[in-house]
Structure 1
Amino acid sequence: MVCPGGGHRAPRHGSLGTHHDQLRIPLKAITFQDVEHLAYEDAADPKIVLVTDVIVRVTHAGICGSDLHPYFGREVGLDVGTVMGHELVGEIVEVGSEVRDFRVGARVVAPFTTSCGSCFHCSSGLTARCEHGQLFGWVEDGRGLQGVQAEYARVPLADGTLVTVPESLDDAVALLAGDILSTSTYGADLAGVGPGDLVVVVGCGPVGLLAIRAAFERGAREVVAVDRVPTRLATAELFGATPANFETGDPLETVHERSQGRGADAAIEAVGSPEATRLAADLLRLGGSLAALGVHSEAHLALSPGEIYDRNLTYSGGRCPVRHYLPASLLLAQRDAELIETLISHRLPLSQGVAAYRMFAERHEGCTKVVLLPG
C-alpha cells in the first residue's frame, strides 16, 4: 500500500496484522498542556509527510533533564498538545520512497535533532545545527516537530538522522547513546580534557556521571564530582570520581588539595544554571577551560568577559551534535553497557509518564534516569 508522500506502509505491531490505516487505533502520547501540567492522551497519528521520512514504533523513550525546561516554564512558546520528548529507540514500520539506508523492521536510535547529513553544518560535524534540521518535541505556533514520548513517531530526514542499533545492544542502553552518552563525550572534548588533567564535573545527574567516564577516557588523572545529593555523589564515586558536596563541604578546598593550590585544568558544567557555571569557573586554575553542557536560558553569563580575560579562561558551550558522535557512542555503549545501564533507575509504561515527570522533576530519592516504554 502506497501512502501519501510516497511511503510504503507495513503492518504495525499491535494492530493484529492489519494495516494501520484500516484499523484506526488511537495513538497515545505524553503531551504538554501548561507549566507543570502534562497529559497522557490521544494524539495525532504520525504519517509520512515527505519522501525522506520514516515512521518508528517507539520501544523506548527517555525523559531528559532538558525536558524540564518547558515543563517548569523556563522555556516558553510550546503549543498546547505538543508531544513531549526527544530520546528515541524503536523499530521502523514505514519508509518514505526516497529513504535509501533503512528498511521496515530496522532497530534504530535517533539523536534529539534531525539532520540532512549534507549541508555545510552537517559536513563540518555540527549536525545539531543542520540547515534543515528540527528538534524533536518542539512545536510553536503550529510549526515544528512532534516529540517521541508516544507509541509512534515521525522521523524526517531519516538517512541523515537515524543510526542502526547493534544487535547485541539493549534498547535502553542504546537510548542513552542517543543523547546523554554523546553529550558527555562532547563535553570532555569542549573542555579540552587531556592526559594528566584534574577535571571537575559540576552536577552528577546522568550527563555529569557519564562526563566523569568521558574525562577518564581522555586520560584525566582525577575527576572531582560536585553535587549536593548524597546518592548522586555515591554513584559518582562508583564511576571513579572524588565526591565533593558543596552544601556540607568546600569543593574549592578539595580541588586545591589535588592541584597544589592552582585549581582544576578543566571543568564540565552539567546542570544548566548560573550558579553551577559560577561554581565551575571558581574551581578552575588560570588558563583553565569550562564546558557548559547544561541547557541555559538566562540572558547573561555568570562570569564576565573581564574575568575570562584576567584569568585566561576558555568558555565553550552549545548543543551537542549527537549524530556526529553517535556511531562512536554506540561502540562505547557496547563496551560499557553494564556501567551505563546502572544510570537507568526507572523503566515505566508510557501510561505512567505524567507521574514519571513529576517524580523526575521533584528529584525523588534514587531517581536518576527514567525510561518510558510505550509498547
Structure 2
Amino acid sequence: MTKRAYNFNAGPAALPLEVLERAQKEFVDYQGNGMSIMEMSHRGAVYEAVHNEAQQRLLSLLGNPEGYKVLFLQGGASTQFAMLPLNLLGEGQVASYVATGSWADKAISEAKLIGEAHVAASSEAQDFMQIPALEDIQIPDNAAYLHVTSNETIGGIQYKEFPDTGNVPLIVDMSSDILSRPLDMSQFGMIYAGAQKNLGPSGVTVVVAREELLANSPKSIPTIMRYSTYLKNNSLYNTPPSFAIYMVNEVLKWIEEQGGLEGVARNNERKAALIYDAIDQSGGFYKGAAEVSSRSNMNITFRLSSEELDKAFAKASEQAGFVGLKGHRSVGGLRASIYNAVPYESCEALVEFMKDFQAKNS
C-alpha cells in the first residue's frame, strides 16, 4: 500500500486504519457466508445480528442509559432537520433553537417550514465564532424542545457543557462530535448524527432518544418520516444502509479498544492542544478563528495574515500530502478536522509543516 494521506477532511472523514483493514478481509466473504455483508438480505439472521450488535454496542458506550433506543436512518442530519419538527412539534407549541452557525441555521430554516420556530439564543453578533452563554438561552414555556448543534464544523466552535432544559427535551445535532468524549445521556431527550465524521462511512444516520419521544409520531405525516415507524420495526421497515451499519459496528469496536469514550477524549484533547499550541505560539503568524473558550476539539479553524497566504498554505500543504485543510468556502481560511480516527502522528506532521511554512514565509 502507498503511504496513507494526512486526512483532515471535514466529512466524509478519516476512518481508523484498523477498521478498514478488518473490513477489507471480510469484504468478499463475511464470516464464511460466501458473500459480502452488502449482498445479504436485511431480513436474514446474519445481517440482523450485526444490526442489533451495533445498537447494543452504541448504548453500551453511552453508559447503557435506561429508556433510550437507537434508530438507524438515512438522509443525514439534513433529513433530521425536518423529521424533528414533523414528529415532535405539536399544536400550540414552538420549536426552540440556539443559532450557532450554518448547521443550526439550516435546522431552523426547516423548522420554519413546518411550524413556529423560536431562536432561544444566537451568536450571530460574534460571527458565529463562539457558543452563546448558557444563561442567555431563553426557552419559551410552550417549547416542544430545545435544539442545539454541539459542534459547528465551519466556525470550529463546540459546546463544553449543555444547558439544563428542565422538562423541555434537549435535542442535539452531534454529527461532528458524537462519541468524541463521555456524555451523560440523561440530560438529552435525543441526540443524532450522520455517521461520516466519527461513526463510520456516509449513508447511515444514528438517532439515540428516549423511547417516549419516538413512540407517538403523528399519523398525518408520511410513514417513512415517522420515528415510530423505525422504532416498531427495529429500523428495518425498509432496506437499511447495511454496509454502513456494519462499518459503524466495527468503528464502535475500535472505540472500545481505545479505552472507550474516556480514552478517545484523552487522545482528542492531546491532538487539539498540539495544534492550538502551534497556532498560539506562532507570534501571530497563525490566528485562531474561534473564540478561545468555544474552540472545538474536532475542527480547528485558523487564518494567516492575508487571503493570499491562506491560499499558499493550502496549496503547499496539498503538495506535502495533507488533505482537506482549506476552510469552508463560506468563510475561507483554513481548517484541520481532527475527528476520532485522525492519528496523533498526523497532527504532529501538520504542526511540523506549519512551523516550516512559517519559517519560509515570515
* Common fold by TM > 0.5: no
Using CA pairs below 8 Å that are at least 6 residues apart, which structure has the higher relative contact order? 2
Bigger share in strand: 1
TM-score under structure 1 normalisation? Answer: 0.31
TM-score under structure 2 normalisation? Answer: 0.32
